[in-house]
Amino acid sequence: MQPTPPVLGAGLAWAVPFLGLLVSLALGPMLAPRVWHRHAGAVTGFWIAALLVPRALASGPAVAAAEAWHAVLTDYLPFVTLLLALHAAAGGILLRGGPGGTPAGNTLMLAVGTLLGAVLGQAGAAIVVITPLLRANAHRTRKVHLVLFVILLVANAGGALSPLGNPPLYLGYLQGVPFFWPARHLLAPFLLLAALLLAAFYVLDRVLAAGDPPPPPAERLHLRGWGNIGLVLLTGAAVLAQQAGPTGDVVLFGQAVAATRLAAIGVFAAVAALSAAFTPRAIRQANDFSWAPMVEVALVFLAVFVTLSPVLDLLREGMAGPLAPLLRLTLDQAGQPRPAAYFWLAGGLSAVLDNAPTYLVFFRLAGLHPPGLDPAQIRTLAALSAGAVFFGGLTYLGNAPNLIVRGIAAHRGVRMPGFLGYAVLAGAVLAPVLLVLTVVFFH
């Protein structure tokens, strides 16, 4: 991935549009939900303009346009088309019946969905699991915790073992990290985190289920949409091919992009189109499928990727930039990387800055050049990767599938908390588990 063009006159003031976007995402749905849902596109467009108009005045329209186009072509389009392909194909896979509706059955469904994340990607697995889980628990009066744990486990932790559909590990893969590196080095942290969260969910679900009516008799488990499973596998093959394909760049409107990445974008778009054209309507209806969550994610993350560029530039300035006091926390007294600091700092920023570009900044800050890593660098990369993946569930913005899951749940009548309310709930559940991981693996 090419570095972004240098920001002229970079300073903390250029981070204001991104911070404004964060505040809008946090307060808009809570203070004015109807206005937000009707005009979310206009709000995100306003913050894009709040960055690009001053940039055009300061550096010229050509520079502002080039920086925005760079963010869109090299970062946003590969990200959003991969997510679109998984959303379309996974939304055409219908899973009915099974053991859901009881605490034990719900826990089993979450465990299976978490494991599916390595095959279908986080977004794909979450979309496949959330609808049957909510359907099996239609008799329950309290369902927010079901959605919360789908986000924490399936939409985030479930992607720890594979770059497929996992934005930060996908970017690491494009930087030369072998495809199966996460499976080898993150398996133990993944298993411990999943075990602790599943145990916590089971206890909580038993308590909340005590006052609800019993679930209806379980249906026989059956699966429809095998063609879409094939499309998910095709999407995975396109991800793999980006490292195996021929090198070379293509220049589009003055911006160079790797030919393999451009080809992958085409494959992802074709997968979405094929799924939309040939999936039976009955399957989409049974899944309560909607394109609205994907549209919301696309709009929000377009603004995120464009307005985030100056913030990432401040991080890229490293120890010579204004964020140096923060970045020095990643080094010990001998100047060597501290895995625990990478885990918490990269993870904490991932929860609010989006984990994909944050991962990339800390990847470069650590001076990693895979696949030839020494043991200390392996520990650093493992801590960074785990932080970028596991912390993503702390906010709706930490990972794109979070917004998709929230949108599907809202479409099915679950009243999810706002940005800040969700962050408090997720932090209360996830923070103790992250502390345990730090002590066991990243101290």
Asked whether residue 172 is assigned to any structural domain, the reply reads yes
Asked whether residue 342 is assigned to any structural domain, the reply reads yes
The letter for the amino acid at 209 is: A
Rounded to whole angstroms, how far apart are CA atoms 250 and 413?
A: 46
Asked whether residue 9 is assigned to any structural domain, the reply reads no
Region 314-337: mean pLDDT is: 74
8 or 78, which is more confident = 78
| Paired tokens of 189 | 């942290």
The letter for the amino acid at 347 is: G
Asked whether residue 6 is assigned to any structural domain, the reply reads no
| Paired tokens of 235 | 């999407």
> What is the reported pLDDT for 187?
95
Asked whether residue 408 is assigned to any structural domain, the reply reads yes
Q: Among 138-147, 197-206, 221-230, where is mean pLDDT lowest?
A: 221-230
Asked whether residue 169 is assigned to any structural domain, the reply reads yes
Q: What are phi and psi of 222, to 5 degrees?
A: -150, 155
- Tens digit of pLDDT for each residue in 389-401? 999 899 887 887 8
The letter for the amino acid at 317 is: E
Inter-residue contact 96 to 286 (CB < 8 Å): yes
Domain membership of residue 313 as a residue range? 15-441
Mean pLDDT over each residue of the chain, to the nearest integer: 85
pLDDT band at 245 (very low <50, low <70, confident <90, very high): low
Rounded to whole angstroms, how far apart are CA atoms 6 and 318?
A: 14
Number of domains in the chain: 1
Inter-residue contact 79 to 305 (CB < 8 Å): yes
pLDDT band at 81 (very low <50, low <70, confident <90, very high): very high
| Paired tokens of 20 | 């404004």
Is omega for the bond preceding 371 within 30 degrees of 0, making it cis? yes
The letter for the amino acid at 278 is: F
Considering the entire predicted model, what is its pTM?
0.80
Asked whether residue 3 is assigned to any structural domain, the reply reads no
**Cβ contacts of 125 within 8 Å, gap of 6 or more:** 90, 113, 114, 116, 117, 119, 154, 155, 158, 165
> What is the reported pLDDT for 104?
92
Q: Is the pLDDT of residue 4 over 50?
A: no
Smallest Cα–Cα separation from 28: which of 40, 11, 15? 40
Residues in the chain: 443
**Cβ contacts of 335 within 8 Å, gap of 6 or more:** none
Asked whether residue 310 is assigned to any structural domain, the reply reads yes
Region 165-193: mean pLDDT is: 88
